[in-house]
Each structure stands twice: as C-alpha cells, then as structure tokens.
Structure 1
C-alpha cells in the first residue's frame, strides 16, 4: 500500500541491538535509530505534531509562514511538513551548527538566518530573539517555539514511548536520552513510567549546559553556561517542556567523548549517527556500574551522521580540537633519538650505496648534493638493475638514481603517509623543527599500525 505523502512515513523507526560496543556493559543495549524518519531525525515527530496542533487551534492560516529557532533537525521536520501543506519557512540557527544542516534546510525551500552562538538568549542577536522578532513582523506567521510548545513532548508521549514499549515487549528497564528541548525525554519517559514506574530515565547533558545543575539543585546557575561544541542537546535555559519528575538523573559528557563515541558507533556498529548519539552512548558507559545483567537499556539515536560530515567525521576538524589521537610522522621517528638521516651523494659509486644499505640494514637511501635532495635509491630498484648489468656497481649513483622521495609536514598523519608510499615510492621525508631531515618507510608504518 502506498503512502499519500512523505509525512505518513514518520515514526515506527527500528530498535537495533548494539553488539560490539555493548560488550563493555553487563546488559542488553538497544538503539532507537531515529534517522530512519524521512527528515533523518527524531524531530520529524514533534515538528508535524506541533504544526497539526497549531492548525487545529487556528494559529496558522493557509499560505502562512512557519518561523522557528532551530539547530537544524526541527527545521527539517517543519520544512517537510511545509512542503506538503503549502507553508513558507524562515528558520534562525546558530553559527555553532554544522554547515550541512543549514544547506539541507535551504534545499527543501527554507530561508535560513545564522545568528551568533555566544550571546545570552535575551540578547537581540540570539537565534531565540531573532525568531521572536520575525514572528511579530511577518504577516500570517506562526512562531513554533519548540522549547515551550508542549505539543513537542506530546508527540513522544503518543508515538515514541508506545513504540519502545511494544518493541521491547515491555522489558525496557532504562531509557537514555541526550536532551535539549526536553520533549523527547519527558514525553517518552512519562509514557514508559505510566506503564512501569520502575523504569529509569537518564538524561545526558553537555558541559556548558545548565540543565544538570538545575535538575540537581533547582537553581538556574548562569555560571554553568559557557560555549560548547556538542550539537543538538544541552541548554542555557530551562524550556517549559521539562517536567523533572519523569527524569531520574542527569549525566554530563564532554565534547570530545561524545564525538569519539559517535565515530565508534559508525565503525563498530554500522550506524552512521550524529553527535548526540555518541554522547548518549558515552553517558551510558559512564553509568555502567549502575547496570545489571538483566537490564534492557534503550538509547535514543536522534539523527544521521550526514549532518556532521565536516565536523566529527572529519579527521582534520577532530585533530584541530584535540579530539582525535592520531600518529604522525613525528611520532614514528621520535624513538630514534639523535640518529642522523643516512644519505649518499650523486658522485659516489653504486657499490658504496649497496655497502651502506647492507651495513645499516636499510632499503631506502636519499641522494643528496649541496643543493638538497635530488633523488633516491631503493634496494628493489638496485637489485633489478644489477641483475640486468652487474657492472652498474661501478657507475655513479647519479646514473641509476630514482626520483626523490615526497617531502611532507612533520605533523602529517600516518594515514596520509600510507597513501604516499607505493611500490615506486618506498619512503617519505620530512624536516623537524631544527631543519634536519628524517625518513619514514612502509615498514615504519606497518609497525606503527600493528602496535
């Protein structure tokens, strides 16, 4: 049976068991993988629900404009609904969010306004304030306000909670959610606790967010708020969707740990998820001592990794922030002490080069003159030439040398080095901080990867 529109494909997302990473835990861990929604995130659920409620209440008329401040995913859900129902969309977002999110929103017809991240919510430049101002200025517009719009959590009470209960056959013992607006965790948690009050609901927060402090003390502490990199969860205020009686505890996760775990989920479980999924599972790992063998834990994996290709799935971005510990050229040569690079001049005999290789048990030798590196010799290349003409041993190195080795930066990652080395190019060179050359061969790389 066909669907009448893309909106009918929202919901009924799969619950998938985690097998490799979950070996570190004593219990069963299931991921509610929300990127199977048409907009690739859980926000499709509440976006449609909020719009349907607004239509019933007469808050938006045909041909009207939907206005919202969004980190990207809610905007996508609203934009899909607007396409089907004939509305325009204007979204404000922050410069912290990935470029992919803004580009995707534009692709489905939305106007996107990027606002600064590091300002107070009340600041007229904040994406909250800009969206409110636009709602007052644009005729026939509706300001969604997902943070305080209780249709947000209603969507999860009506959909996400019942789905999880049915999919686990009522065996769920823990719900874990990286939480932002509060809609997912409160709506889903409320439904599940009504079914079984013993179910534990754990919220994952980010350092730089005030939610955990508010949960623990009831105090809104602005000192808890500072810039953070994690996307899609954590807040600098307490949205109205929160009803803390449905949450049992909060746990904070660092930007680095969440990003690294997201990459692990992709590589080890085959689930290409977003930042919040990594933080959600990392938070669960931090609480593993509170879990038992028969527990059944459900983690919400909010969105798709395509939103973060230029960020957490980009090695350079990760390295610039100290999130990715990768071996570099410098690491490979650091254990050699003060040994100088062995070289040979173009005027020396091939026999001398062979003797040098044999004495020092090396296969690659740079050829250097007064102007610098001009070529190279390899054991394999010399072997082939001597087989065809044994007298080559008496010729000069210049007559048989191969092209010079590639020269790279001293902090070049091992992964990039491995792409430069081939059958024809047996080594790579680099200069250290003092200007001295060092060499890395394919065997250096093999040894480093084997450790």
Structure 2
C-alpha cells in the first residue's frame, strides 16, 4: 500500500514549479519551492520536527513534556503539529500583530496560545521571547524550542531542504533566494548547496526594506515571518545564532508594497496562494534573474500559504486602510486632500520619550505657523526625521489639552510626554474615498486624522480638507 504511518512523514518533500517571470525566456528561469505544501502548511514544519527530535535525543524533552516557544505563527504551527502527533503539550507565545488565521490554526492543533503586545523592546518582560522563557522556567517538564539560537534549526534545512533542491534541479541550481527570519532556512539550505556545488551556488537573502538585515533602521514593517525588527528602545540588538552570515552572498531589500502586490499577482496570475514573505522572496528573485542568462537557474523558497493571510494581504479593505492600494482614481480620495508640498516633507511627530516641555514647544510652533496644533506620538526614535509607520502611532498630543494640564499642575514640563498621551489619531489610507473618511470623522467628532501611504504616515488632514477636495471633485464634474 502507498500509505504513511503518520503526518510526520508528510513534512517536507515539496515540489518545484517554474514561475512565469516578466522576462521569461531571456533571463534565468526561476523555480519556486512550494513549502506551503508541507503537511503543516509551511517550511517551519521541517525545523519543528528537527528541533523536537534533537531535544528527544538529548534527553531535554521526555514523554508527557511540554513544548514552549515564542513564534510569529508558522514555527508554532509546526511545533503544535509535531507535539500533537507525539503526545506533547504545546504552549506558544505570539505577538498581537499575528494574523487571526495563524492563531486559530495553533488552537486547532490543540496548542495553548498566549498573545502579547508586539513592538516591545527586547528587554521588556512582556516581549514574547521573555514570556516564553518565563513560562518554560515555571513549567515542570518544559522544553523551550528557542528557534532563533537552536542549531537544529539550520541543521534541519542542511539535512532536508538543501538536498531536495540539489536533487530536484539535478545540480543545475546557480542561485538560491530566500527570506531571512530566524536565518535557519537560508543558512542551512545555502550551506548545503554551496558545499554540493563546490562553492558556485550564490545565496541571496530577501528582506523587508526597513529590516536591520538589509541595512534598514529596524522600524515596523507589514510582512510577517521575515526580517529583523529593532525597537528604538532596545539596548542591545542581538541577531539570531541560527543566521550564519558567512553563507549569504548578498541581501536585497524589498519594500512592503512590492512584497504585497507580488503576493496578489502570484495568486491571480499563476495560481499560487502564498504569504507575504513569499512575495518578498519572489520580488527579489525576479531582480536576480533579470541580471542573469538562460543558462543560470534560480530557486526561490515560498515559505507558507496565503490562506493564513486572507484577512490581511488579500483583503482590499485592509490594504486600502494602510495605503497600499491607490483606490478609485475617478473619485476624490483621502490623499487628494494633501498638497504635494506637504507629502514631500516628513510628518511632524513627537517621540514619547521627549519631555512635556519639548512637545509643547513643537505644538506651539505649529500653531504659530498656522498648522493644526495636534500631532501623533509614539516610539519613533527620531522625533520626525523620518516618516513613522502605522504601528508606531500609539498616541497623540493636543496643545490645548497639554497646556491646561501643565497650568493645573497635573503634569510638569520635565515629565516624559509618553506618560500623558491621548488616544491615537484616526488613520486613513491615501486611496480611501474622501467621502467615507469625512463621514467617519464627522460621526466621531474628530478634527484631525493621519494619512497613510504604504503603511507610513505622510500627513495630517481634517474635515475642512476633505470638504475642499470633495467640492473640487464636484466642480470638475
């Protein structure tokens, strides 16, 4: 009989499929390794099995034990699947920006899920990594997977992913393209392929543009399961030991917009429903292939399925709200209410670590210049030298409210302003209909909102700005 004894035998062994690229026939062929066809739905099935079986061999995980890990979802799903098959309890800690589908998947496998705030500095006790470590210390029979520093992570790819690709391409692969998250996939797979080819295979990392790996400043980005975020208040930026930089020849930055639109294009034009990090990898692979010839061969790893992101990357409303879609150009849009000169300048922004006195000076200067004296605030480190991203807009400041509190002695000018923030300002994507934004502001009685383009704040608007753009659109018709 052609059967398997358990789901664990269905991990890995994923196929390669050729992608239609923009220069198909003139540039190098690109083959995608469809890791979402692994039984648990992602490439992380491989490391989950590898890490658990190594822990069993080392005596760290025994019958009746508990598997614990901090994860963005995919490793958690793999660990939950393997734990279920082997009879272990699983406790997984996730950041609150993880898609709802991923969280539901973990619970479906019987895992216990702890959700903690995303965007915390590494030293914060509530950071998912610290919470997972604390739970492991307090749980008898617990084993902390520690994928970021566990040698069985890259080891699993050295033993499985690399050999599969070498065999499937009959040794013809010349370039590997993979995202970098924990670093295990690119390190283990890349090392095997370099050794098998005598050092001729080049290994290219694909990375969100703001990720530290590719030279970004570490601010938040919108592609899950890739890159390296660095909170501005993190004291020491420690990179994963699973990431072996000596294996990687180059790292290409890819914008969130390119990643997310590539994901949608793959689904609609090639029938491949994949996640955001796959979009990052394919966008980079297309750039690599465009500089090569037909005798080269590029393999790109597509880590997971788009079914886990239907409420995000494939939802037009989600993308519109964050400014990743341009909307209906035949009607007035929110972005039309921002003059080009305003959009060209960084949005004034208050770092929550500034003092109340510093914030008041900035707000008063805006009023003196005729601008609305209300600003967003949050953990953006530079206080306005770059555009903050939507997750960084964690509060707001209004001149009149702050001034009154100081005059009443409720707060002092030297206090950190982060202790006295108001609610975050409403946010609208630049492509959203102006009429809908005006209706929402009117209903909420709010006078100032933030305009987002590609997830970044590009300006402030009020009801009067939206009225103006709607009047202009009506006159044009």
Write the distance in 2 (CA, Å) between the matches of 1:85 and 1:301: 27
1:93-112, aligned counterparts within 5 Å? 93-112=94-113
Q: How has the CA–CA distance of structure 1 residues 171 and 411 changed in structure 2, closer, same or farther, with 3 Å as cutoff?
A: farther
- Aligned equivalent of 1:212, options 211, 214, 218: 214
Write the distance in 2 (CA, Å) between the matches of 1:309 and 1:139: 38
User: Partner residue of 1:368?
Assistant: none
User: Partner residue of 1:433?
Assistant: 470
User: Partner residue of 1:193?
Assistant: 194
Write the distance in 2 (CA, Å) between the matches of 1:71 and 1:35: 16
User: Partner residue of 1:268?
Assistant: 269
User: Partner residue of 1:301?
Assistant: 302
2:3 matched to 1:37? no
Does structure 2 retain, via aligned residues, the 8 Å contact 1:22–1:28? no
- Aligned equivalent of 1:233, options 203, 208, 226: 226
Write the distance in 2 (CA, Å) between the matches of 1:439 and 1:57: 74
State the 1:255 CA deviation.
1.3
May I ask how many residue pairs the two structures share in their alignment?
338
Secondary structure at the aligned position of 1:330 is classed as: coil
State the 1:292 CA deviation.
2.2
Write the distance in 1 (CA, Å) between the matches of 2:4 and 2:134: 37
Write the distance in 2 (CA, Å) between the matches of 1:201 and 1:285: 14
Secondary structure at the aligned position of 1:112 is classed as: strand
Secondary structure at the aligned position of 2:191 is classed as: helix
Write the distance in 2 (CA, Å) between the matches of 1:301 and 1:90: 27
Write the distance in 2 (CA, Å) between the matches of 1:277 and 1:15: 14
The gaps in structure 2 that reach 5 residues or longer are 230-237, 334-432, 437-466
Residue deviations 1:110-133, cap 9 Å, x none? 111111221112211111111011
Does structure 2 retain, via aligned residues, the 8 Å contact 1:116–1:126? yes
Write the distance in 2 (CA, Å) between the matches of 1:92 and 1:329: 45
Does structure 1 retain, via aligned residues, the 8 Å contact 2:23–2:290? no
Secondary structure at the aligned position of 1:170 is classed as: coil
Write the distance in 2 (CA, Å) between the matches of 1:411 and 1:104: 38
User: Partner residue of 1:61?
Assistant: 62
State the 1:326 CA deviation.
3.1
Does structure 2 retain, via aligned residues, the 8 Å contact 1:65–1:89? yes
Q: How has the CA–CA distance of structure 1 residues 25 and 106 changed in structure 2, closer, same or farther, with 3 Å as cutoff?
A: farther
Does structure 1 retain, via aligned residues, the 8 Å contact 2:266–2:273? yes
Secondary structure at the aligned position of 2:115 is classed as: strand
Secondary structure at the aligned position of 2:148 is classed as: coil
User: Partner residue of 2:415?
Assistant: none
Write the distance in 2 (CA, Å) between the matches of 1:436 and 1:122: 51
Write the distance in 2 (CA, Å) between the matches of 1:438 and 1:108: 58
1:4-403, aligned counterparts within 5 Å? 4-21=5-22, 23=24, 26-196=27-197, 197-213=199-215, 224-236=217-229, 237-327=238-328, 329-330=330-331
Secondary structure at the aligned position of 1:157 is classed as: helix
Secondary structure at the aligned position of 2:126 is classed as: coil
1:409-424, aligned counterparts within 5 Å? none
State the 1:295 CA deviation.
1.1
The gaps in structure 1 that reach 5 residues or longer are 214-222, 333-408, 413-430, 441-451
Q: How has the CA–CA distance of structure 1 residues 137 and 289 changed in structure 2, closer, same or farther, with 3 Å as cutoff?
A: same
Does structure 2 retain, via aligned residues, the 8 Å contact 1:21–1:269? no
Q: How has the CA–CA distance of structure 1 residues 163 and 438 changed in structure 2, closer, same or farther, with 3 Å as cutoff?
A: farther
Does structure 1 retain, via aligned residues, the 8 Å contact 2:30–2:285? no
Does structure 2 retain, via aligned residues, the 8 Å contact 1:173–1:198? yes
Write the distance in 1 (CA, Å) between the matches of 2:4 and 2:475: 63
Residue deviations 1:35-62, cap 9 Å, x none? 1101110000110010000001010111
Secondary structure at the aligned position of 1:251 is classed as: strand
Q: How has the CA–CA distance of structure 1 residues 106 and 162 changed in structure 2, closer, same or farther, with 3 Å as cutoff?
A: same
Q: Give the number of the structure whose alpha-carbon radius of gyration is greater.
A: 1
Does structure 2 retain, via aligned residues, the 8 Å contact 1:152–1:183? yes
Q: How has the CA–CA distance of structure 1 residues 21 and 66 changed in structure 2, closer, same or farther, with 3 Å as cutoff?
A: farther
Secondary structure at the aligned position of 2:283 is classed as: helix
State the 1:286 CA deviation.
3.6
Secondary structure at the aligned position of 1:66 is classed as: strand
Does structure 1 retain, via aligned residues, the 8 Å contact 2:93–2:113? yes
Q: How has the CA–CA distance of structure 1 residues 436 and 245 changed in structure 2, closer, same or farther, with 3 Å as cutoff?
A: closer
Q: How has the CA–CA distance of structure 1 residues 259 and 328 changed in structure 2, closer, same or farther, with 3 Å as cutoff?
A: same
State the 1:437 CA deviation.
7.0
Residue deviations 1:261-284, cap 9 Å, x none? 010111111100000110001122
Write the distance in 2 (CA, Å) between the matches of 1:117 and 1:208: 16
State the 1:231 CA deviation.
0.6
Write the distance in 1 (CA, Å) between the matches of 2:63 and 2:262: 44
State the 1:411 CA deviation.
5.9
Secondary structure at the aligned position of 1:224 is classed as: coil
Normalized against structure 1, the TM-score is what? 0.71
Does structure 2 retain, via aligned residues, the 8 Å contact 1:329–1:410? no
Q: How has the CA–CA distance of structure 1 residues 435 and 258 changed in structure 2, closer, same or farther, with 3 Å as cutoff?
A: closer
Q: How has the CA–CA distance of structure 1 residues 22 and 303 changed in structure 2, closer, same or farther, with 3 Å as cutoff?
A: farther
Does structure 2 retain, via aligned residues, the 8 Å contact 1:22–1:29? no
Q: How has the CA–CA distance of structure 1 residues 308 and 21 changed in structure 2, closer, same or farther, with 3 Å as cutoff?
A: farther
